[in-house]
Structure 1
Amino acid sequence: MNCQTEKAVSKYPSHVGNIEFDEKLDDPNFKRCGENEYAYQYYHASESGIPYEGEKLDIIRKLEKENIASSKSVNGYITVRFVVNCEGKTGIFRMQEMDENYIEKELDKKLSDQLFTFTKSLKGWLPTEIQGKKIDYYQHLTYKIENGKVSEILP
Protein backbone atom coordinates (compact mmCIF):
# COMPACT_ATOMS: atom_id res chain seq x y z
CA MET A 1 0.00 0.00 0.00
CA ASN A 2 1.08 3.50 -0.73
CA CYS A 3 0.44 6.06 1.97
CA GLN A 4 0.92 9.08 -0.30
CA THR A 5 -2.06 10.54 -2.06
CA GLU A 6 -2.00 12.28 -5.38
CA LYS A 7 -4.20 15.17 -6.31
CA ALA A 8 -6.45 14.23 -9.20
CA VAL A 9 -5.79 16.59 -12.08
CA SER A 10 -8.44 17.01 -14.71
CA LYS A 11 -7.95 18.50 -18.13
CA TYR A 12 -11.43 19.99 -17.76
CA PRO A 13 -12.17 23.08 -15.66
CA SER A 14 -14.46 22.76 -12.65
CA HIS A 15 -17.06 24.90 -14.45
CA VAL A 16 -17.60 25.32 -18.18
CA GLY A 17 -15.90 28.50 -19.33
CA ASN A 18 -13.60 28.82 -16.31
CA ILE A 19 -10.26 30.49 -16.95
CA GLU A 20 -7.66 28.85 -14.76
CA PHE A 21 -4.85 30.96 -13.27
CA ASP A 22 -1.59 30.52 -15.18
CA GLU A 23 1.52 31.74 -13.39
CA LYS A 24 3.26 32.33 -16.75
CA LEU A 25 0.52 34.68 -18.00
CA ASP A 26 -1.30 36.13 -15.03
CA ASP A 27 -0.50 38.77 -12.44
CA PRO A 28 0.06 36.98 -9.12
CA ASN A 29 -1.20 40.10 -7.29
CA PHE A 30 -4.69 39.78 -8.79
CA LYS A 31 -6.98 38.25 -6.18
CA ARG A 32 -10.38 36.74 -6.65
CA CYS A 33 -12.85 37.53 -3.90
CA GLY A 34 -14.76 34.26 -3.81
CA GLU A 35 -13.78 31.19 -1.87
CA ASN A 36 -13.06 29.28 -5.07
CA GLU A 37 -11.92 29.88 -8.62
CA TYR A 38 -15.45 30.29 -9.96
CA ALA A 39 -16.71 33.58 -11.38
CA TYR A 40 -20.17 34.39 -12.71
CA GLN A 41 -20.64 35.04 -16.40
CA TYR A 42 -20.85 38.67 -17.56
CA TYR A 43 -24.62 38.59 -18.11
CA HIS A 44 -25.14 38.02 -14.38
CA ALA A 45 -23.21 41.21 -13.57
CA SER A 46 -25.44 43.79 -15.17
CA GLU A 47 -28.99 43.99 -16.41
CA SER A 48 -28.28 47.03 -18.57
CA GLY A 49 -25.29 45.97 -20.66
CA ILE A 50 -21.63 46.41 -19.85
CA PRO A 51 -21.00 47.07 -16.12
CA TYR A 52 -18.54 49.91 -16.75
CA GLU A 53 -18.52 53.53 -15.56
CA GLY A 54 -19.89 55.44 -18.53
CA GLU A 55 -20.99 52.13 -20.09
CA LYS A 56 -19.89 50.96 -23.54
CA LEU A 57 -19.94 54.49 -24.94
CA ASP A 58 -17.06 55.45 -22.66
CA ILE A 59 -15.02 52.46 -23.85
CA ILE A 60 -15.70 53.44 -27.47
CA ARG A 61 -14.54 57.01 -26.80
CA LYS A 62 -11.35 55.77 -25.13
CA LEU A 63 -10.65 53.43 -28.04
CA GLU A 64 -11.13 56.23 -30.57
CA LYS A 65 -8.53 58.34 -28.73
CA GLU A 66 -6.01 55.49 -29.04
CA ASN A 67 -6.33 55.37 -32.84
CA ILE A 68 -5.63 51.62 -32.94
CA ALA A 69 -5.58 50.16 -36.46
CA SER A 70 -3.72 47.65 -38.60
CA SER A 71 -1.64 48.46 -41.64
CA LYS A 72 -3.12 45.27 -43.13
CA SER A 73 -6.62 44.98 -44.55
CA VAL A 74 -7.76 42.23 -42.16
CA ASN A 75 -11.31 41.27 -41.21
CA GLY A 76 -12.51 39.26 -38.25
CA TYR A 77 -12.95 39.36 -34.49
CA ILE A 78 -10.63 39.75 -31.52
CA THR A 79 -12.12 38.78 -28.18
CA VAL A 80 -10.49 39.57 -24.85
CA ARG A 81 -12.02 37.76 -21.87
CA PHE A 82 -11.11 38.45 -18.24
CA VAL A 83 -12.26 38.39 -14.64
CA VAL A 84 -13.57 41.42 -12.75
CA ASN A 85 -13.29 40.85 -9.01
CA CYS A 86 -15.58 42.17 -6.29
CA GLU A 87 -13.46 45.34 -6.04
CA GLY A 88 -13.78 46.13 -9.77
CA LYS A 89 -10.17 45.10 -10.48
CA THR A 90 -9.37 43.01 -13.54
CA GLY A 91 -7.08 40.07 -14.18
CA ILE A 92 -6.65 36.65 -15.80
CA PHE A 93 -6.91 37.97 -19.38
CA ARG A 94 -7.23 35.66 -22.39
CA MET A 95 -7.52 36.51 -26.08
CA GLN A 96 -8.96 34.71 -29.08
CA GLU A 97 -8.84 35.79 -32.71
CA MET A 98 -10.91 34.55 -35.63
CA ASP A 99 -11.59 35.54 -39.19
CA GLU A 100 -14.93 36.79 -40.50
CA ASN A 101 -16.05 33.15 -40.92
CA TYR A 102 -15.41 32.48 -37.19
CA ILE A 103 -12.39 30.30 -37.91
CA GLU A 104 -9.61 30.70 -35.35
CA LYS A 105 -6.80 32.65 -36.98
CA GLU A 106 -4.23 35.27 -36.01
CA LEU A 107 -5.29 38.46 -37.77
CA ASP A 108 -2.43 40.87 -37.12
CA LYS A 109 -0.15 40.49 -34.10
CA LYS A 110 0.46 44.23 -33.70
CA LEU A 111 -3.28 44.99 -33.81
CA SER A 112 -4.20 42.20 -31.40
CA ASP A 113 -1.42 43.21 -28.99
CA GLN A 114 -2.66 46.81 -29.04
CA LEU A 115 -6.27 45.76 -28.35
CA PHE A 116 -5.14 43.39 -25.60
CA THR A 117 -3.13 46.18 -23.94
CA PHE A 118 -6.00 48.63 -24.38
CA THR A 119 -8.46 46.23 -22.74
CA LYS A 120 -6.09 45.62 -19.81
CA SER A 121 -5.73 49.38 -19.33
CA LEU A 122 -9.47 49.99 -18.86
CA LYS A 123 -10.24 51.10 -15.34
CA GLY A 124 -13.83 51.62 -14.30
CA TRP A 125 -15.31 48.12 -14.18
CA LEU A 126 -18.13 48.08 -11.66
CA PRO A 127 -18.18 45.56 -8.85
CA THR A 128 -21.43 43.71 -8.50
CA GLU A 129 -23.30 41.44 -6.16
CA ILE A 130 -25.90 38.73 -6.32
CA GLN A 131 -28.33 38.25 -3.44
CA GLY A 132 -26.32 40.70 -1.33
CA LYS A 133 -23.02 38.87 -1.83
CA LYS A 134 -20.13 40.52 -3.70
CA ILE A 135 -19.03 38.36 -6.62
CA ASP A 136 -16.33 37.98 -9.23
CA TYR A 137 -17.53 37.83 -12.82
CA TYR A 138 -16.21 37.15 -16.30
CA GLN A 139 -16.39 39.97 -18.81
CA HIS A 140 -15.42 40.04 -22.45
CA LEU A 141 -15.03 42.60 -25.18
CA THR A 142 -15.13 41.47 -28.79
CA TYR A 143 -13.69 43.86 -31.31
CA LYS A 144 -15.11 43.48 -34.80
CA ILE A 145 -12.35 44.26 -37.31
CA GLU A 146 -13.14 45.49 -40.82
CA ASN A 147 -10.36 46.51 -43.20
CA GLY A 148 -7.88 46.63 -40.31
CA LYS A 149 -9.97 48.91 -38.07
CA VAL A 150 -12.32 48.32 -35.17
CA SER A 151 -15.82 48.84 -36.55
CA GLU A 152 -17.77 47.72 -33.49
CA ILE A 153 -17.34 46.55 -29.90
CA LEU A 154 -19.51 43.65 -28.79
CA PRO A 155 -21.50 42.84 -26.65
Structure 2
Amino acid sequence: MTKFLYLLFILPLFFSCQSEKTISKYPAHVGDIQFDEKVDDANFKKCFVNPFSFQYYNFDGFQYKGEKLEIEKKLERLNLKSDKNPNGYITIRFIVNCEGKPGMYRIQQMNENYKATVFDKTFTNQLLEFTKSLNEWIPKEYLGIKINYYQYLTFKIKDGKISEILP
Protein backbone atom coordinates (compact mmCIF):
# COMPACT_ATOMS: atom_id res chain seq x y z
CA MET A 1 0.00 0.00 0.00
CA THR A 2 2.82 2.43 0.84
CA LYS A 3 4.40 1.72 -2.54
CA PHE A 4 1.11 2.58 -4.23
CA LEU A 5 0.85 5.90 -2.35
CA TYR A 6 4.50 6.68 -3.13
CA LEU A 7 3.87 6.04 -6.82
CA LEU A 8 0.73 8.16 -6.68
CA PHE A 9 2.75 11.14 -5.40
CA ILE A 10 5.75 10.66 -7.71
CA LEU A 11 3.79 10.10 -10.93
CA PRO A 12 2.64 13.75 -11.31
CA LEU A 13 6.26 14.91 -11.11
CA PHE A 14 7.11 13.08 -14.32
CA PHE A 15 4.34 14.81 -16.22
CA SER A 16 5.06 18.27 -14.81
CA CYS A 17 8.67 18.20 -16.09
CA GLN A 18 7.74 18.57 -19.71
CA SER A 19 9.58 21.51 -21.24
CA GLU A 20 7.77 24.22 -23.12
CA LYS A 21 9.28 26.10 -26.01
CA THR A 22 9.31 29.80 -25.22
CA ILE A 23 9.74 32.52 -27.78
CA SER A 24 11.62 35.59 -26.63
CA LYS A 25 10.65 39.08 -27.72
CA TYR A 26 14.29 40.07 -27.24
CA PRO A 27 17.03 39.63 -29.86
CA ALA A 28 19.67 36.93 -29.44
CA HIS A 29 22.35 39.60 -28.97
CA VAL A 30 22.20 43.21 -27.82
CA GLY A 31 21.93 45.53 -30.80
CA ASP A 32 20.81 42.92 -33.33
CA ILE A 33 19.13 44.49 -36.34
CA GLN A 34 15.89 42.76 -37.27
CA PHE A 35 14.57 42.93 -40.85
CA ASP A 36 11.88 45.61 -41.21
CA GLU A 37 9.91 45.41 -44.46
CA LYS A 38 8.98 49.11 -44.17
CA VAL A 39 12.58 50.36 -44.45
CA ASP A 40 14.80 47.47 -45.56
CA ASP A 41 15.49 46.36 -49.12
CA ALA A 42 13.73 43.03 -49.69
CA ASN A 43 16.59 41.97 -52.01
CA PHE A 44 19.20 42.20 -49.24
CA LYS A 45 19.87 38.77 -47.79
CA LYS A 46 21.97 37.71 -44.86
CA CYS A 47 24.01 34.64 -45.67
CA PHE A 48 22.71 32.41 -42.90
CA VAL A 49 19.39 31.53 -41.38
CA ASN A 50 21.12 31.91 -38.01
CA PRO A 51 20.66 35.57 -36.99
CA PHE A 52 24.16 35.83 -35.54
CA SER A 53 26.48 38.39 -37.16
CA PHE A 54 29.98 39.37 -36.10
CA GLN A 55 30.77 42.90 -34.95
CA TYR A 56 33.11 45.35 -36.71
CA TYR A 57 35.60 45.10 -33.83
CA ASN A 58 36.16 41.37 -34.41
CA PHE A 59 38.54 42.24 -37.26
CA ASP A 60 41.77 44.16 -37.74
CA GLY A 61 41.30 47.57 -39.29
CA PHE A 62 38.47 49.10 -41.23
CA GLN A 63 36.60 46.67 -43.51
CA TYR A 64 36.41 48.85 -46.62
CA LYS A 65 38.56 48.77 -49.75
CA GLY A 66 40.92 51.72 -49.29
CA GLU A 67 39.90 51.83 -45.62
CA LYS A 68 38.55 54.90 -43.86
CA LEU A 69 40.66 57.25 -45.99
CA GLU A 70 38.75 56.22 -49.13
CA ILE A 71 35.39 56.92 -47.45
CA GLU A 72 36.63 60.34 -46.29
CA LYS A 73 37.72 61.20 -49.86
CA LYS A 74 34.31 60.23 -51.26
CA LEU A 75 32.50 62.24 -48.59
CA GLU A 76 34.71 65.30 -49.12
CA ARG A 77 33.66 65.46 -52.79
CA LEU A 78 30.00 65.83 -51.77
CA ASN A 79 30.60 68.79 -49.44
CA LEU A 80 27.44 68.09 -47.41
CA LYS A 81 26.16 70.78 -45.04
CA SER A 82 23.03 71.16 -42.95
CA ASP A 83 20.91 74.29 -43.48
CA LYS A 84 20.87 74.60 -39.72
CA ASN A 85 24.14 74.62 -37.76
CA PRO A 86 23.76 71.65 -35.41
CA ASN A 87 26.47 69.94 -33.41
CA GLY A 88 26.46 66.26 -32.52
CA TYR A 89 26.70 62.81 -34.04
CA ILE A 90 24.81 60.78 -36.63
CA THR A 91 25.56 57.07 -36.50
CA ILE A 92 24.52 54.79 -39.34
CA ARG A 93 24.77 51.10 -38.47
CA PHE A 94 24.24 48.28 -40.94
CA ILE A 95 25.03 44.69 -41.85
CA VAL A 96 27.55 43.59 -44.46
CA ASN A 97 26.70 40.11 -45.73
CA CYS A 98 29.16 37.40 -46.77
CA GLU A 99 29.27 38.81 -50.31
CA GLY A 100 30.35 42.26 -49.05
CA LYS A 101 26.93 43.79 -49.77
CA PRO A 102 25.55 46.20 -47.15
CA GLY A 103 21.94 46.48 -46.00
CA MET A 104 19.49 46.91 -43.11
CA TYR A 105 20.58 50.45 -42.21
CA ARG A 106 19.67 52.05 -38.88
CA ILE A 107 20.25 55.67 -37.83
CA GLN A 108 20.89 57.11 -34.38
CA GLN A 109 21.18 60.85 -33.80
CA MET A 110 22.69 62.54 -30.73
CA ASN A 111 23.63 66.07 -29.76
CA GLU A 112 27.12 66.93 -28.50
CA ASN A 113 26.04 65.81 -24.99
CA TYR A 114 25.07 62.35 -26.33
CA LYS A 115 21.35 62.99 -25.82
CA ALA A 116 18.91 61.83 -28.49
CA THR A 117 18.07 64.53 -30.99
CA VAL A 118 16.78 64.93 -34.54
CA PHE A 119 18.90 66.62 -37.20
CA ASP A 120 17.69 68.24 -40.40
CA LYS A 121 15.91 65.44 -42.30
CA THR A 122 17.41 66.38 -45.67
CA PHE A 123 20.94 66.35 -44.24
CA THR A 124 20.37 63.00 -42.48
CA ASN A 125 18.94 61.48 -45.67
CA GLN A 126 21.96 62.70 -47.65
CA LEU A 127 24.27 60.96 -45.16
CA LEU A 128 22.19 57.79 -45.37
CA GLU A 129 22.28 57.83 -49.19
CA PHE A 130 26.04 58.44 -49.10
CA THR A 131 26.50 55.46 -46.76
CA LYS A 132 24.31 53.29 -48.99
CA SER A 133 26.46 54.26 -51.98
CA LEU A 134 29.56 52.76 -50.36
CA ASN A 135 29.81 49.44 -52.17
CA GLU A 136 33.34 48.18 -51.59
CA TRP A 137 32.93 46.49 -48.22
CA ILE A 138 35.28 43.56 -47.75
CA PRO A 139 33.67 40.12 -47.30
CA LYS A 140 34.97 38.36 -44.20
CA GLU A 141 35.54 34.75 -43.17
CA TYR A 142 35.79 33.07 -39.81
CA LEU A 143 37.26 29.57 -39.59
CA GLY A 144 36.92 29.28 -43.38
CA ILE A 145 33.22 30.20 -43.38
CA LYS A 146 31.98 33.40 -45.04
CA ILE A 147 30.13 35.51 -42.48
CA ASN A 148 27.86 38.52 -42.01
CA TYR A 149 29.10 41.38 -39.86
CA TYR A 150 27.86 44.65 -38.40
CA GLN A 151 29.56 47.88 -39.43
CA TYR A 152 28.88 51.47 -38.50
CA LEU A 153 29.91 54.98 -39.46
CA THR A 154 29.52 57.84 -37.02
CA PHE A 155 29.61 61.30 -38.52
CA LYS A 156 30.69 64.01 -36.11
CA ILE A 157 28.81 67.21 -36.96
CA LYS A 158 30.25 70.63 -36.06
CA ASP A 159 28.33 73.78 -37.05
CA GLY A 160 26.32 71.82 -39.61
CA LYS A 161 29.35 70.27 -41.34
CA ILE A 162 30.92 66.85 -41.02
CA SER A 163 34.15 67.34 -39.11
CA GLU A 164 35.13 63.69 -38.67
CA ILE A 165 34.11 60.11 -39.40
CA LEU A 166 34.36 57.66 -36.53
CA PRO A 167 35.60 54.97 -35.81
Task: Please give the TM-score of this superposition, normalised by the length of structure 1.
Answer: 0.91
User: What is the CA deviation profile of residues 79-122 of structure 1, one whole-angstrom value per residue up to 9, with x for unaligned ones?
Assistant: 00000000000110000100000001002211111101100111
* Aligned-pair identity (%): 57
**Alignment partner of 2:96 out of 84, 87, 91:** 84
Paired residue secondary structure (1:59): helix
Equivalent in the alignment of 1:47: 60
Say which SS state the counterpart of residue 128 (structure 2) adopts.
helix
Question: Quick one: distance in 1 between partners of 2:22 and 2:126?
Answer: 38
Give the match for residue 46 of structure 2: 32
2:44 is the alignment partner of 1:13: no
Shift of 1:35: 2.9
- List gaps (5 residues or longer) in structure 2: 1-20
Map 1:1-155 to 2 at 5 A.
9-44=23-58, 46-48=59-61, 50-155=62-167
What corresponds to 2:6 in structure 1? none
Between the aligned partners of 2:56 and 2:34, the Cα distance in structure 1 is: 17
After superposition, the C-alpha distances for 1:15-60 in whole angstroms (9 at most, x for unaligned) are 111000011111111111123122111111x312x11000000000
Q: Which amino acid aligns with 2:60?
A: E
Asked if the contact 1:21/1:92 (under 8 Å) is kept, the reply is yes
Tell me the number of residue pairs that the alignment of Structure 1 and Structure 2 aligns.
147
Instruction: Give me the whole-angstrom Cα distance separating, in 2, the residues matched to 1:11 and 1:35.
Output: 18
More off after superposition, 131-140 vs 9-18: 9-18
In terms of fraction of residues, the more helix-rich structure is 2
The Cα RMSD (Å) is 1.2
Query: How far 1:9 moved relative to its partner?
Result: 4.9
Instruction: Return 5+ residue gaps in structure 1 as ranges.
Output: 1-6
Report the equivalent of 1:3: none
SS at match of 2:51: coil
Preserved CA contact (<8 Å) 1:77 1:142: yes
Looking at structure 2, the residues matched to 147 and 102 of structure 1 have their Cα atoms a distance apart, in angstroms, of: 16
Larger Rg: 2
| Structure 1 residue 142 displacement after superposition | 0.2
